[in-house]
Chain A
C-alpha cells in the first residue's frame, strides 16, 4: 500500500496533486520517468509521469486532471488513504544536456511533467525560456514554480483571462523567428505537441515530446502503448515516454488514445448510477 501524505487541489478542483510514500521509487526516479498507479482491487492501471520526487522523505508527487472514472477515484483518496499499487520508476529519464538555449512548452497538466525537466535543464546550465498555456486563468497550474525554473516565462490563455490571449504556438513562433533556439521541449495535449512539432520542423529545431499512450503493464510486455516513430514501432513505456517530435505519428496516437472512448464513458456512467462516485 502506498499512502498519500499530501493532497492539493488546483485549477478549481479539476486537477489534483498527490504526494505519495514510495521510498524505493523516490530513490531511483529521474525527471521524465513515470509510475503506474492502481487505486484499489478492481481498479485499472493508469500511468502518470512524476512531477516531483523527494528521496530523503521517500515520496513521489503526481499531478493529474480528473477526466474519467479512475482519476475520479484517485481524486477521492484523502491524506492518509493509500493507493493499492504504485509501480516505477518506469520509462527512460529525460536526456538533459547543459549549455543550450531551450524553450520549454507546456499545456494543461503537461506543465506538471514539464516542470522537473525545465528545472533540471536550468540546473544543468541551459538558458530556459518557458511558455505555458491553458484554456483560461483558473486552469493554469504551477505558474510560480515554472517562473523559478525558467529564465523567462510566457503565459497564454485561450480566452485571454491571464497572460496573452492565444495558443502557446504563437509565442513559440516569435521566439523561433528571433532565432538562437537550440532545443524545444513540448509536453501537453497531443494536438498541442503535434502543432509545436510541425512548427519547429519548419525552423529545423530539435523537439522532444513526452507521449501518453494507453498502457497496461508499463514494462514492455504487451505493446498496448506502441507508437510509430520515424516509421518504426516503439513501445512508449520502455523506449519512451519521450521521443523526437519530428518523427512521431501524432495522428495515429490520437486514434489509439480513442480506442476505449465508449467503454470509458460506460464505466463512468455505471459507477455514477451505483452511487460509487
Chain B
C-alpha cells in the first residue's frame, strides 16, 4: 500500500453557518492549491477506475487528478474538458456521493477521494488564470444544428457538436442562457458569473447563442428545418410547476418554487430595489416539499431575512429526496423541519394574503409501487401552522408549450418526449431530445449524460444519415 490512506480527506472550508445564512455568497470556499495537491495524492490511480464508470459523462478522473497531484494545474482542466464542458458547475452541483465518489475504491474502507472538489478546483484555477487551450475544432462540415434550450443537456450537446465541426445555434427562451443553472440553482450554491463564464467558453468555441427565442411560439420546430437546420435537439427541461390543488392556493403569498427562485436568481431580486424585480418577503416562510428545490427555496428565504423558515414534508427525513449535504447545510443554517405533515388548505385575510395553513399529521404506511412507505393521514390531527409566505416545491412536470406546437412528436402519457435512452432519438425524423423533458426532473449531470449520447447520435446522423 502507498501512504495514501493515511492522508485524511481534505474537507473544504465553508462560510460560518450563522454568517452565510444571511448572505448570498457561496457556502464552500474552495480548496487552496496545497489542499488540492494533498487530496489528489490520495487517489490510488486505479488501472481499471470504477469512479469513471460512476460519472455519467465518463470524465478521465484518475487522469486529471494525476495532473493536480503533480502540481500541473494547467493540464488538469484540459483533461476534464475532453469529456465535460461544465466542470465548474458539475464540481459544485453533482451528487458525487451516488456517482463518481460513490464508486471510489477508497470509499469502501474509508472516505472516497473528493473528486467533485478537485474538479471544481481545476475549473476555478483555470478561470482565474486562463492558461489552458480550448479543445480544437474539427474541419467545418457545413451542417447546421439547432439546440433548443440552454440548460445543462443543451450546453453539452452544443459543446460536443461544435468541436465536431458542425454549426451550432443555441436558442433560449429566457434573456440569459443556462436554464436551471441560472434561474433555479441559487447564487450561494452556484455563482452566476461561473455559469456565464462556462457558457461564454462555448461561445468562444463558435456556438451561436440566441436568447429571447421561445421555440413553440417565436419559431416552431418545423420552421427551424425550413430555415436550413439539418438537426434539432430539444433540451427544454421540465419547467411546469406543480401545485397541490388545495383551497386557497391562489392567495398572493403562495408561489411556486419556480417563480420564487426565478425572481431571486435570474432576476436577482435579492438585490431589490437595486434591481427592479421585487420578491415577496415573509416573516415565517413555509416551503412545501423535500427535494433539492425545496432546500434551495428555504435557504433563499432565510437569506432574504425571514425570521423562521419551515420545510413541510409529508414523509420522514429518511425519504427526503434532497442531497444529504443540502439537508445538512439547511439544518446548520437554522431551518425548521416539519416532517410527516401535509397541508390541507391555505388560510388568508381579506387582502388575499396568506395567514396560515391548515395541516394534518401523517404516518408511514405500507410501501407503495415506488418502494417508499406511503404516508397516510392521522385522523383528527388537524392543526394550524401560522405563516405569511408559502413556496410550493413539490416537483415539476413537462411544459407543453413546445410539444403542442410540434404535433408529430410522440409523447408519453405525462407529456414528456419519448426518446431512445441510448441515442436520444425521438419519433420525429432529425429531432433528438434529452434531459428533464424526457426523464422528468432529474439532475444536472444526468441531463449532461443524455446530451453527450444525443450529440454522438446527431453526429452519426449528420455523417451517415438517419
Contacts and interface: CB of A to CB of B under 8 A. Distances in A.
Contact of B262 (A24, A216, A226, A252): A216
Given A217-B174, A219-B173, A259 B213 contact: no
Nearest to A42: B275
Interface stretch (B31-39, B192-200, B237-245): B237-245
B274 A42 contact: yes
A220 interface: yes
Interface string A62-98: 0000000110010000000000111111100000000
Nearest to A224: B259
Contact of A221 (B213, B218, B239, B352): B239
Interface residues of A, number: 43
Contacts of B134: none
B351 interface: yes
A222 interface: yes
B214 A267 contact: no
Interface centre among B239, B245, B268, B273 (most CB of A within 10 A): B273
A266 interface: yes
A161 interface: no
B241 A222 contact: yes
Interface string B246-275: 000110110110110011000110001111
Contact of A220 (B211, B219, B240, B275): B240
A138 interface: no
B276 interface: yes
A245 B217 CA distance: 25
A216 B266 CA distance: 10
**Interface residue tally of chain B, by bracket?**
35 or more
A45 to B, nearest CB: 7
A5 interface: no
A14 interface: no
A38 B275 CA distance: 12
Contacts of B268: 42
B132 interface: no
Interface string B219-231: 1000000000000
B278 interface: yes
A9 interface: no
A90 B217 contact: yes
Nearest to A38: B175
Interface string B271-288: 011111110100000000
Contacts of B219: 24, 28
A259 B259 contact: no
A227 B352 CA distance: 13
Interface of B: 173-175, 211-214, 217-219, 239-241, 243, 245, 249-250, 252-253, 255-256, 258-259, 262-263, 267-268, 272-278, 280, 351-352, 399-401
The 3 closest A-B pairs by CB, nearest first: A255-B352, A263-B278, A222-B259
